[in-house]
Structure 1
Amino acid sequence: MKNARPKRTRLRAAGKAARRKRPELDAESQAELEGRLGYAFKNADWLNRALTHPSLIDNYDGDAQFSNQRLEFLGDRVLGLVMAEVLIARFPAEREGYLTKLFHQLVSGEACAEVGEGLGLRPFLFLDPSMEKNKRGSYDKSVADAVEALIAAIYRDGGLDAARDFITRHWIMELVHREVSQQNPKTRLSDWCGANRAPYAAYEIVDRAGPDHEPVFTVRARVDGWGEAVEKGRSRQEAEMAAADRLLRDLLRNGS
């Protein structure tokens, strides 16, 4: 009779096999998440890997293939390519400097985390309990990384068109928000003038008041034949932007 394997060895082998079993979403959770993503995976292994945080890597003998780190690396590049395409198409008249500034905002960890929060992604993640409060500054890094990994998972499962569709669908509100809140009002007014074949805006300092260390500038922004607006600011540039913003709002409100 052959000697039976020692109990300790059998338990160690069983534990090793258990550790190597990849966490998976159940069918109901997978269907719910795919509905939120707007994409159904042909190979669910890509989805489950994208959701697996590297904090669990020791459960799989340190095998990097079992976490979402490599997918995150790829997803960051796919996001960059698609976002560059989107910005080039959306802002055909903008200079490289402005596109670069907007690009970095839209591919940042903060932006990815906002998309993930909008998807309600965190409850679907597989991560060690110690990572429950994994934040970098003001955003959830685990969620941000998982969003990049999901982009790569969709890319590997369905190709670039599928990844592009996911990005343009879920980043569009973020894009609009960044465009409205970050773009220089003088640039937006210039774009409006070009689109409406109007003369470009002229800016005139109407008044400068206050002491040298706290000046107050009053500036008039005028588009000949269309309208004008006067605003104040603590610098000439600030006053010009405020006047441009007011004038543009008036023009849009009047249906010009």
Structure 2
Amino acid sequence: MATRLVQIHMKARDDSALGRFWAEVLDWGVDSEEPGVTNLEPVGFVYPGATAVCIDVVADPQPKTVKNRVHIDLATTSAAHQADLVARLRELGATPADVGQGDVPWTVLADPEGNEFCVLEPRPIYRDTGPMAAVVLDCADPRAMARFWDEAMDWTLHEVTDDHAVLRSAKDVGPYLVFHRTPDVKTVWNRAVRPRVHLDLRPYPGDDQEAEAARLRALGATGIDVGQGDVPWTVLADPEGNEFCVLTPA
């Protein structure tokens, strides 16, 4: 059994507006699954697939109150491309964001609902990822997170150090998943401060969702109640308390 990362779940007070913003950012298509849910994926993409991690923007009236633990890094091909992209994103409604990054070669912005993201300087590792270079998750212990997530998914662990861990799909396509050590550690899940962005995993066709959730619990995940009620997905938290969902097999 195995799962794979298929999408980023992003909450928004206005899912349609935020969906349009990210569709413009990534040059992706927009599809409304139902009222309050806006799906984003590359044009012509067959979901689920390894070449992209899609985005589900879901309506939620609560405002963003804390820095997200999960953010998107955008790829660029040259210094000019980076500058042009930053300018275009600001025209679309992005604003500069200070997360304590200091003097760095990448640019930190926030989308219209305050979700942080980075426009990276050109990096050879991201030359074939498409517009989304990486999905980045802040953590206290990249080595421990690598152990859990390497077992949780069928993605390949490319690198692990005290400061970061890097995974990519088993087919070596699409964006990377990066665990980056930061001092603002999440140690306890807090229902009053729910994350605005989390990861969604999906088992493969023919696998058993409940058995997969049990396997993840044995690896160190815990079941959590976020008020989800009777839903077809299972909500868990990784060993550092980061919420994620196990969707139905597909």
Question: What is the TM-score when the length of structure 1 is the normalising length?
Answer: 0.20
Q: Which has the higher contact order (CA 8 A, sep 6+)?
A: 2
Structure in which a larger fraction of residues adopt helix: 1
- Given the two structures, how large is their TM-score scaled by the length of structure 2? 0.20
